[in-house]
Chain A
Amino acid sequence: MPGVTLRELTRRYGGVAAVERLSLEVRPGELMALLGPSGCGKTTTLRLIAGFLRPEAGEILVGDRRLSSPDAVVPPERRRMAMIFQSYALWPHLTVAQNVAYGLRLRRNCPRAERDRRVRDMLRVVRLEGCEHRYPGELSGGQQQRVAVARALVVEPEILLLDEPLSNLDANLREEMRFEIRRLHEAFGITTLYVTHDQAEAMVISDRIAVLHRGRVVQVGTAQDLFLRPCSRFVAQFVGRSNLVEGVADGRDVVARGALRLRVASAALAPGTPVTVSIRPHQITLSADGRAPAGANVLAGVVRRATYLGDAVDYEVAVDGGGVSLRVTAPPPVRLSAGAPVTLAVEPEACVPLTEED
């Protein structure tokens, strides 16, 4: 099971770079999500990997096979990959069984009996027994999705590519299919690239997530890495919500903003440089009586607004002396209302200074 290496890939459309000097390493057997807003180049990256597009610079390797470079591109049909498309791309003129069997028919060493068996097995795996002879048009959206999955997996590809495969499903079905795809990945262990703009989806499904922005990979890591240690303003805001506090380094691990001083997770700041600190709303604890754990940053403030959200309460707190307000997520019920004085406590580990620009 080979991994995938992208090196300095560049691809433009009409002079505008869709992907620019993009590098990424996908480990063998890993499920990597490419996460980013629309226009970030994630689909272009996937299509470059599939061989539908030729890079203008850079190269793509699968294991030690070089599949794409500006002067040679192995055509898609010779890449031993499979892909699941946003539109599912099921062939409406073929039955479910014929759709699934198509890739196997192209394999020379797969006799008919074996092909039939593998199609049957695969349809059972995706829970579509009994649908063999129906046409895609006669299936529900979720069933169509599963046919697309079966068609891709039955050929036992080296690499599996998924292009926003769940975006056409309604919310409940989408939730269910996330776990289904994760289950199948664990069962087959195929090296997989999964394009999505939905961070929750990326977190549920993937081993690691690559966040793309403006044609580049801005951060790679597990969901927890990205959440707890975002490297840039963009990641901090795109993956989950975050409070961003702009200040100036006042020591190796202290950021100051007016009268406000925060001890932060890093100990390598150059004093005097401007620094943005990301603080997740749920990592701030809030108390009415001024109590705070030892070692935490303690901030005093006034509640501006409290919004009841059912499973949480969202507070907006104006912090004294810093000219900033912070959002705080706390468990219900609403214990403080607007105008109440409050004490906030944040562990230094939860104050992440952002090292990259954007």
Chain B
Amino acid sequence: MSRGTAAARPAVPARIAGVERSLPVWALAALILVLLVALPLGWLGWVSVSSERGPTLAHYAAALSDPRLRSALLNTLVLAFWAGAGAVALGAPLAWLTARTDLPGRRLVRSLVLASFVTPPFLGAFAWVMLAGPNAGLLNRAWRALTGLDAPLVDIFTMPGLIFVVAIYTFPYVYIMIANSLELIPSDVEEAAAILGAGRLRIAVTVTLPLVAPALVSGFILAVLQALALFGSPAILALPAGFHTVTTQIWALFQYPPRVETAAAVSIPLLLATALLLQLQKRLLGRRGYAAVGGRTGQRRAIPLGRWRWPALAGVLAVMACSILLPYGVLAKAAFTRAWAQPLTRDNLTLANWTFTFFQYSATRDAVLNTLELAVATATAGAGLAALLAYIASRRVIVGHQLLAFLALAPVVIPGVVLAVGLFVAYTRPPFVLYGTLWILFVAYLTKEMPVGYSQSEATFRGIHPELEEAGRILGAGRLRVLREITAPLARAGIIATWCFVFIGVIRELSASIILFTPATRVMSVVIFDLKEEGHFGAIAVLGLFMLAMTFAVVVVVQGVLGRDVLGVRG
């Protein structure tokens, strides 16, 4: 370490002394990531072809020849495609209206979109059972009372019902993609068309639409990916109607006697499908991505809607009513009444659901504590690890940094249920027996949230000029010291935001938890699901509202830290 000795002779050993001091940190981060992703997927692949008599394709044959598994696969495809289409149909006009027009109440609409973005889909599905169950559903009752007809207006326990509920909670993905893309289109390209005599609609269709087409397709694929991976909504809406999707089917395969090998074999096609879709999205964006929409300095002027202003607002609010207002309302009603299906009379009002949930139901406390513990631990470890990985990749610290970036984003293609199957197989046997502890959930959440954390962190580091770090290096600070004293403080807001994103993701996680929990390690989402199976609407509503309150508290923190809204759309 003494500076005098180095001056006297050529400093060959300096690499060992200087660079490699930080190397263990990078290597460890990389190793953790590889373990997180590769271990469960490796086991998943292996188990799907393993048998007592060596490698076999029998599990695949069994899975694909079973008509019920085949129909589950088909149902998933139908659900994903139409939910994606629905998400585009809802998200694209909404994005255009809020980003480009003088629609009244744009801020409110954006907040509502944000709310539906963070609402756990299974809570929405659950609320829609109370709203649109064919007989007791409040909407159907109102319909019958109004029309005197006997047939229900809507039956939520059907494929279209399921598609509807999935779409109203996935459209924000499309919305974000398109709204952000629209932000980059200067008004003059539209005005150029107007000068030539094109009407508003014509401009939207011939100029604006082609410009956002990549974002649109990309948003569609994102929504399809979400729909493919969902477990809660199909479990709540499809099972009572007597049909399965792949995710519920995989979950059902874990019932006694468990058929883990078949579950693995069913998981692989789902994994491939998502990987393929993501690849497609990447190529679409790569070819004519946002660069095509480059004019960032151009002015953007709101397009006047004229007499369509109020009808448009009514349409937008109708969508938001479906995803936010009605579901939250019915959850609140269920939370404060004895019988959710009965009118709101004085007799029906009660706090019993709250006292039961928080004081008599012994699982609540443990589940809330487990959830919080996991959320804090995962958010902290996840934000830290994601930051390290994004740092490695954006500063090209070690060889193979591109591979790390790929691995960090790879879990996007792993549906929660599939990840859980892999983790279950990996961590129920030596050397790592984590099943039955919170650790396995921690590992699952960490893996599942890594893409979100990584892309957040990557954006953060992209915003920090590398010269700021080099300035520290050249003045005598080692890489780790620069990371600690310069990079970290500058990345603070971004890292806190990442922390919050992971936190929100964890508290709502159901699809991996449902396979990995044990009675001693239940989390809130699993308890809600348990309560659902027994039909405790009041308690579910209470826990659901509690979960939403936690989520929104965190969202408020993020907005404060980032100074912008979570959707990444500048107001």
**Residue of A75, A81, A102 touching B14 (CB-CB under 8 A):** A75
Of the listed stretches B263-271, B323-331, B465-473, chain A binds: B465-473
Would you call B475 and A103 a contact (CB within 8 A)?
yes
Q: Contact string, B471-484, partner A, CB cutoff 8 A, digits 1/0?
A: 11111111101000
Identify which of A61-69, A168-176, A231-239 touches chain B.
A61-69
What is the size, in residues, of chain B's interface with A at 8 Å between Cβ atoms? 30
- Asked if A72 contacts B476 (CB within 8 A), the reply is no
Q: Which residues of B contact A72 (CB under 8 A)?
A: 11-15
Give the complex CA separation of A75 and B474 in angstroms: 9
* Chain B residues whose C-beta falls within 8 Å of the C-beta of A51 in the assembled complex: 473-474
Q: Are A91 and B468 in contact (CB under 8 A)?
A: yes
B10 contacts A by Cβ under 8 Å: yes
A81: B residues at CB distance < 8 A: 474
Smallest CB–CB gap between B7 and chain A, Å?
6
A73 within 8 A of B: yes
| Closest CB in chain B relative to A55 CB, distance in Å | 13
A275 interface residue per 8 A CB criterion? no
A27 shortest CB reach to chain B, Å: 19
Distance between A266 CB and nearest chain B CB, rounded to angstroms: 42
Chain B minimum-CB-distance residue to A74: B14
In the complex, which residues of chain A have a beta carbon less than 8 angstroms from the beta carbon of B472?
Answer: 91, 102
Binds B, one of A82-90, A182-190, A214-222, A301-309: A82-90
Partner of A89, one of B9, B465, B489: B465
Chain B residues, CB < 8 A from A82: 474-475
Chain A residues, Cβ within 8 Å of B467: 85-87, 89
Bound Cα distance A178, B7 (Å): 32
B474–A77 CB distance below 8 A: yes
Contact of B474 among A63, A64, A83, A92 (CB under 8 A): A83
- Residues of B close to A76: CB separation below 8 A: 470, 473-474
Q: Chain B: which residue is nearest A84 at the CB level?
A: B471
A107 in contact with B476 (CB, 8 Å): yes
Bound form: Cα–Cα A65–B14 in Å = 11
Are B473 and A77 closer than 8 Å at their CB atoms?
yes
Contact of A50 among B15, B470, B478 (CB under 8 A): B470
B19 in contact (CB, < 8 A) = yes
Q: Are A89 and B468 in contact (CB under 8 A)?
A: yes
List B residues 337-358 near A (Cβ within 8 Å). Answer: none
Chain B neighbourhood of A155, CB < 8 A: 475-476
> A79: CB under 8 A from chain B?
yes
Assess whether B490 is interfacial by the CB under 8 Å rule: yes
Question: Which chain A residue lies CB-closest to B21?
Answer: A75
Residue of B nearest to A50 (CB): B474
Whether A179 sits at the interface, judged by CB under 8 Å, is: no
Q: Which of A72, A81, A90, A161 has the most CB of B within 10 A?
A: A72
Alpha-carbon separation in the docked complex, A77 to B473 (Å):
5
- Which residues in A have their C-beta under 8 angstroms from that of B18? 74-75, 77-78
Q: Could you tell me which residues of chain A, from 77 to 113, have a CB within 8 Å of some CB in chain B?
A: 77-83, 85-87, 89-93, 102-103, 106-107
Which B residues fall within an 8 A CB radius of A? 3, 6-7, 9-15, 17-19, 465, 467-468, 470-479, 481, 486, 489-490
Other A-B pairs, 20, CB within 8 Å; known A83-B474, A155-B475? A51-B473, A52-B470, A65-B6, A65-B9, A72-B14, A74-B11, A74-B14, A74-B18, A75-B473, A76-B470, A77-B18, A78-B3, A78-B11, A83-B470, A85-B470, A87-B467, A89-B468, A91-B468, A91-B471, A106-B475
Q: Can you spell out 22 A-B residue pairs with CB atoms less than 8 angstroms apart? A: A51-B474, A52-B470, A66-B12, A72-B12, A75-B19, A76-B473, A77-B476, A77-B477, A78-B11, A78-B14, A78-B476, A80-B3, A83-B470, A83-B474, A85-B471, A89-B467, A89-B471, A91-B468, A91-B472, A107-B476, A151-B471, A151-B475
